[in-house]
Structure 1
Amino acid sequence: MELMVPPVVLVADVVLFLVIGYSAFYAIRRIHRYGEPLDRFIVIIAGSLFLASIGRALDVVDDLVDVGGAFVPAEGTLYFFSIIGVAYGLLSYMGSIERRILPTPVREKGSDVLAPGGYMYTGSEGLAEFLSAVDGPVLVITRSPWKYREFENVQALWVTQAGEEGVGPTKLHVLLEAAVDFMRGGGRLVVIDCLEILVLYNDFNSVFRFLSTLKDYAVGTRSTLLLIVDREAIEEKEFKVLSREFPPIKSLWDVLKTSS
């Protein structure tokens, strides 16, 4: 047995083999330990790492024995399928998480009973009855998604710091993208039921730009954006700025009455 490569190359190949092999073993031991979609992701990654570890083993043998390049086709094939597997597993997992958290474009249209644009409601009563009366898909961006599970026409997007269960309050761009996709897909009403949390975790100017942009999309898609505002939780200056962009309504039903 004669060393066919510089020692540093052999050491690097051995280290990579050990790291990839251990990672494959670690992943294999955790198959079926978690629920979907994580279980499926682990199975795909474990298989991909196992293929890669075989390729690294052949590479180590190639460093120690002159095989005349006989292992090269096999190594290339193993690495090819390993990379494809990792990419597929990652994209599949991210897609599953997004489908679970983010609203689904409904591709249907409700009636034109809602006035397009943006409005602000400072009350605290009647939201459940109002949502029940809306003829069309509704998205509620909220801190309390369980409050809306009883409504067949309502999807709730949870604003939370709890990892994979929702979207963090500082991720305004994610919230914007989700709401815009919802409206473009046929959504009729987007309700912001956590404005105070968004202002708490972001500066007010960023939140206002987010809301103004969302209102523009609502107008463009003939959808409605409704802010539910706790008057005592918003400073007077901020409330006046919001009022200029989002006309306050005394009753939620005013959004229906002003329909064109």
Structure 2
Amino acid sequence: MELNVSIWVFFIDVVLFIILGYSTLYVAKRMSRYGEPLNRFIVVVAVSLFTATIGRALDIVDDFTENVAPIVSVEWVLYFLSIIGIAYGMLSYISHIERIILPVPSKAPGSAKLSSGGYLYMGGSTRELVEFISSIDAPVLVITRSPWKYENLGEHVQILWVTQVTDKGIGLTKLHVVIESAVKFLRGGGRLIVVDCLETLILYNDFTAIFRFLTALKDHAVETKSAVLVVVDKETLKERELNVLLREFIPVRNLKSLLKTSA
């Protein structure tokens, strides 16, 4: 058999074959080791890498073949299938992770009627806030640094955890991701968004950015006839910052005042 390509082309083909082969074995050994959806992703990637490895093996064969047209056609098909498989696996896995981290839009609007707009809760009672969220018959999204405070309040309550542990929540500086998720929730039937992490967000972002974030959230809430409730501790805000917020958000102490008494 005579080599019909340069030694460098042959060398590259062999190196890529070894890399793909090793990657296939590495991924295949992890099949059935984890639960879904990670295992499904691993299976798809393993099959796709195996397909690409076969294609690379054929590429080495055609380095010694004069009539390479039939082999090249098979290679293109194998590479095409492997790329499609890897892309599908990655997109499926990312979508699943987002469904876990990001709140799922509610499809049941509930019977509670809330006054649309933006509000500042300055009552300071966490217990009252939790009881109010638990009692209302409407889809609620809580954006918080303390998700455990709002666990087991009912299926109508979704939690969006802002945290530096970004694989389990959303980063504290990723305001665009938070607003995107919140808007998706509102347009999916959400009726109330509670922001219970204002002080922490200000620490990781400047106040101007947070104010823009909150006003944008309020505008989307008004558009969807929903409400935004921002939990505020007056002692942690500067007087100027509080005054700016009060220009856009209505202060409330009695949370039940958010409920409409008539249609």
1:55 aligns with 2:58: no
Where do residues 1-260 of structure 1 align in structure 2 (5 Å cutoff)? 1-111=1-111, 113-125=113-125, 126-152=128-154, 153-256=156-259
TM-score by length of 2: 0.93
Structure 1 stretches of at least 4 aligned residues deviating more than 4 Å after TM superposition: 257-260
SS of the counterpart of 1:198?
helix
SS of the counterpart of 2:173?
coil
The CA deviation at 1:104 is 1.1
What is the rounded CA distance, in whole Å, between the counterparts of 2:250 and 2:68 in structure 1?
78
The CA deviation at 1:21 is 1.5
Residues 166-210 of structure 1: per-residue CA shift (max 9 Å, x gap): 111111111111111111111110000111121111111111111
What is the rounded CA distance, in whole Å, between the counterparts of 1:239 and 1:21 in structure 2?
61
What is the rounded CA distance, in whole Å, between the counterparts of 2:130 and 2:247 in structure 1?
26
The CA deviation at 1:118 is 0.4
What is the rounded CA distance, in whole Å, between the counterparts of 2:9 and 2:255 in structure 1?
70
**Cα distance change on mapping 1:163 and 1:33 into 2, 3 Å:** farther
SS of the counterpart of 2:110?
coil
What is the rounded CA distance, in whole Å, between the counterparts of 2:64 and 2:206 in structure 1?
61
Residues 7-45 of structure 1: per-residue CA shift (max 9 Å, x gap): 222122222212222111111122233333222211111
TM-score by length of 1: 0.94
| 8 Å Cα contact 1:119/1:247 also seen in 2 | yes
| 8 Å Cα contact 1:52/1:78 also seen in 2 | yes
What is the rounded CA distance, in whole Å, between the counterparts of 2:124 and 2:24 in structure 1?
53
The CA deviation at 1:112 is 5.3
Give the superposed CA RMSD: 1.7
Residues 131-168 of structure 1: per-residue CA shift (max 9 Å, x gap): 12322110001112222222112011111122321111
Query: Structure 2 stretches of 5 or more lacking a match?
Result: none
Aligned identity (percent) is: 57
What is the rounded CA distance, in whole Å, between the counterparts of 2:245 and 2:121 in structure 1?
11
Amino acid at match of 1:145: P
The CA deviation at 1:49 is 0.7
| 8 Å Cα contact 1:112/1:259 also seen in 2 | no
What count of residue pairs does the alignment treat as equivalent? 260
Amino acid at match of 2:131: E
